[in-house]
Chains A and B, each alone.
Chain A
Amino acid sequence: DADVTQTPRNRITKTGKRIMLECSQTKGHDRMYWYRQDPGLGLRLIYYSFDVKDINKGEISDGYSVSRQAQAKFSLSLESAIPNQTALYFCATSDPGRGLYNEQFFGPGTRLTVL
């Protein structure tokens, strides 16, 4: 079984709809991240959480919110989806106790299309 899972894997929705992307991990990591990937723009950080009570905005948090329901679960919500939020979304985890550097492990991604 995959260590980091994301649901759904693909989603098509309409402008104005509320969407939730879910991420679960079995790696036991405290740190979790949400990224979006757009062609030519690379990976951009939306939100990150270092533990259940610690949630921080990344570089492009506008239009998004998150919830860290448990150590293993980190959800990303688009309150009112718009077409320029069409992208590939990744969840990632890391554990500072396992190494000196912030190596991250990624989920398989969610491909979101907003019409």
Chain B
Amino acid sequence: AQKITQTQPGMFVQEKEAVTLDCTYDTSDQSYGLFWYKQPSSGEMIFLIYQGSYDEQNATEGRYSLNFQKARKSANLVISASQLGDSAMYFCAMSPALNAGNNRKLIWGLGTSLGVNP
């Protein structure tokens, strides 16, 4: 069965430091996408970054990068130079590719709560 595991329920980082949020996944699909979303205390769900399983380069979006290790089935989110506004819940999710015939839904992890200390 497809599954996303986020092993860090909560963590803290010092402002301006880098932080890595862990995500491991389980799938037998060959083609899939991996996503990270941010949920601040206000509640909205904000898309951050995605990585396709066949992408050779790790995805980057500004201060966010995805450390994709396909053999280990991990897709860790790296936030560089943390800011106070990065304090939020972070969710990892996985989707089969749309042409894989099973494109019904995203599989979600339970999230990691990140606090940034000044």
Contacts and interface: CB of A to CB of B under 8 A. Distances in A.
Contact of B98 (A56, A88, A102): A102
Contacts of A108: 43-44
A101 B95 contact: yes
Nearest to A42: B110
A69 to B, nearest CB: 22
B52 A42 contact: no
A103 B43 contact: no
What range describes how many residues of A lie at the interface?
A: 20 to 34
A56 B111 CA distance: 26
Contacts of A33: 105
Contacts of A42: 91, 108-111
Given A90-B45, A109-B43, A109-B45, A103 B50 contact: yes
Interface of B: 32-33, 35, 37, 43-47, 50, 52, 91, 95-99, 103-106, 108-111
